[in-house]
Chain A
Amino acid sequence: MTHMVLTVAAILFALGIYGVTTRKNAIGILVSVELMANAVNLNLVAFSQHWGATGQSFALFAIALTVAEVVVGLALVVLLYRTRKNVNIDLASDLRS
């Protein structure tokens, strides 16, 4: 059972990586990061089957950490929209040398 959950988590993580690398929309990238974070939580909870509740409490911490991070990220996307009137990260390339 555990290894099936781990496989699902690995697929989720891979999907997240794929999304991060291919998405042009900043919100889309944030969603992909969320997918990766959920893979982590799934992993932790699956491991709890073997190792007891430590994994579940770790998952709770991981959820809180991801939330804090995504909130700041959404604020940055709002700023990006305000300064450029779009959220396409390919167009935000003034710093490229």
Chain B
Amino acid sequence: MMVDLLAPLAADAILVIGALSLLLVDLILPPGEKRILGYGTIGVLLAALISTFALDLSGEAVGGAYEGDALALFFKRGFYVSAILASLASLDFGAKIWPRRQGEYFQLLLYSVLGMSLLAGVRDLLLLAVAFELMGVPLYAMAAFSRKDKLAVEGGLKLYLTGAVSSAVTLYGMSMLFGASGSTNLAEIASAPSSPMLAMGVALTLAGMGFKLGVAPFHMWVPDTYRGSPPPFVVLVAVAPKIAGIAALTRLLLAGDGALLDSVSELLLLLAWFTVIVGNVMALPQDSVRRLLGFSGVGHMGLLLLGLTTGTAEGIAAMLFYVAGYIFTTAGALLVLSAVADEDGNDGLARFAGLSQRSGFLAFAMLVFLLSLGGIPFVVGFWAKLYLFLAAWGAGYQLSVLFIALVGVIGLYYYLRVSRAMYMTEPTVEGPISVDLGTQLAIALCLVFVVGMGLVPQPFVAVAETAASVLR
């Protein structure tokens, strides 16, 4: 009976069991052999990923607070894949920088992924609050994991302070949602009669989650944390929690008949516009490529918000396809970056000068990822943008589409600036770059998906459409 009730959470159970076993194995292993814990983590995440395909995870669990539907599975797979990419990059880095504490790092990673994984199918305010914190708290600790590194601690503290304030604001909003509707069930909240308190609750919850998403004007932590934190961690934090934020917003705003979305759609659209402007304009003067990608990531969040604002099945499907593209493109670009940055984390444009002569593979991969971020045809970024714009146009947001597409053109400038440095200037640092096997594998995976989804987008779009069809 108990097993039946928890069956839709089988993938999450794998993560829990994996993380706890990691804790025990970590205690037994001698200090020199902790590396195996990283492989174990990737194994656990792979097992969870496979379980989403192999097992039937549909149905309600924990008294209706969680429901495994196609949308939940879509997001779960996204989280697991991005966590696998980040773990691959962490293998060598962790063994070198914090050899004795690898177990802790990977455990925190698994707990955070567990939080995201629960968010994917959340149906209840209480589970939403708990899962959101479970996702966030381990990230704060991981950001400052190089604890003697001034910059990492500063980046971690900035992530923490914005995160703590944002969760307080989110909880305050949630308390109002509860107060206005008398229920913690999201569908019941959506069907409650509209009142100022309900609208304020949604707005505050939205603002709190905006911090996690890095939506302007709540984006201040993004570039600093990207620049200060350990590079493999940035691969995780730039992708998974942001997608989780989108998942949580989708669940909250489109619960029931989507009445909550209608009450904040203007606000959401305003945030989308502002985010796109801030992300693209602030990226222009950046020299640190990580800060540049940070701001560009802020810009991409604006596009995702546009997709969410439409609230139509096409809009959500386009947003999900964009999410899939975003995972591989952003993770790929940051993986290349973690390979190119030096020991102190310097990643100015000078480090990229003449990269094509130092490592043809890295330069080519980075070029593909940058083209995809800029939305150039035949890589996934182009189709993602196209579908999103078409869906938003069809839903009656013509002005926003024109505006956001125009602002996106600014993005091309700074993406091409990096490409130019890689291919058209002489290297300032001599010698080939050595990349560890894990990072190479992760970059190759991203490359395959970015190009593959660019050449044959249809199957992935079909998956996104199935996932979006469960709403409304």
* Interface of A toward B, CB cutoff 8 Å: 6, 13, 16, 20, 26, 29-30, 33, 36-37, 39-40, 43-44, 46-47, 50-51, 54-55, 57-58, 61-62, 65-66, 68-70, 72-73, 75-77, 79-80, 82-84, 89, 92-97
Contacts and interface: CB of A to CB of B under 8 A. Distances in A.
Interface string B142-158: 00100111110111111
Interface stretch (B174-182, B211-219, B444-452): B174-182
5 contacts: A61-B129, A62-B171, A69-B137, A83-B153, A97-B286
A61 to B, nearest CB: 6
The contact size tier of chain B is 35 or more
Nearest to A42: B175
B178 A36 contact: no
Contacts of A51: 178-179, 182-183
B227 interface: yes
Interface of B: 125-126, 129-130, 133, 136-137, 140-141, 144, 147-151, 153-158, 160-161, 163-165, 167-169, 171-172, 174-176, 178-179, 182-184, 223-224, 227-228, 285-288, 291
Q: Which 9 A-B pairs have the closest CB atoms?
A: A36-B168, A43-B175, A51-B182, A47-B179, A95-B224, A40-B171, A65-B133, A79-B153, A83-B150
Nearest to A26: B157
Nearest to B181: A51
A47 B201 CA distance: 14
B157 A72 contact: no
Interface of B (DSSP majority class): helix
Nearest to A40: B171
Nearest to A71: B137
A95 to B, nearest CB: 4
Contact of A73 (B160, B174, B178, B227): B160
Given A36-B165, A37-B171, A97-B286, A62 B157 contact: no
Which of B156, B157, B223, B224: most chain A CB closer than 10 A?
Answer: B157
Contacts of B167: 65, 69
A72 B153 contact: no
Which of A13, A36, A39, A72: most chain B CB closer than 10 A?
Answer: A72
A57 B153 CA distance: 35
A85 to B, nearest CB: 11
B224 A75 contact: no
Contacts of A76: 140, 144, 153, 156-157, 160
Contacts of A73: 140, 160-161, 164
A4 B94 CA distance: 53
Nearest to A36: B168
Which of A43, A51, A95: most chain B CB closer than 10 A?
Answer: A95
B154 A94 contact: yes
B234 to A, nearest CB: 13
Given A83-B148, A97-B223, A55 B154 contact: no
Contact of A79 (B144, B161, B224, B228): B144
A82 B12 CA distance: 37
A58 B126 contact: yes
A61 B126 contact: yes
A87 B169 CA distance: 24
Given A13-B172, A61-B129, A75 B141 contact: yes
A68 B137 contact: yes
Contact of A69 (B126, B164, B175): B164
Contacts of B156: 76, 79
Nearest to A20: B165
Contacts of A95: 151, 154-155, 158, 223-224, 227-228
A11 to B, nearest CB: 13
Nearest to A68: B137
B227 A68 contact: no
Contacts of A40: 168, 171-172, 174-175
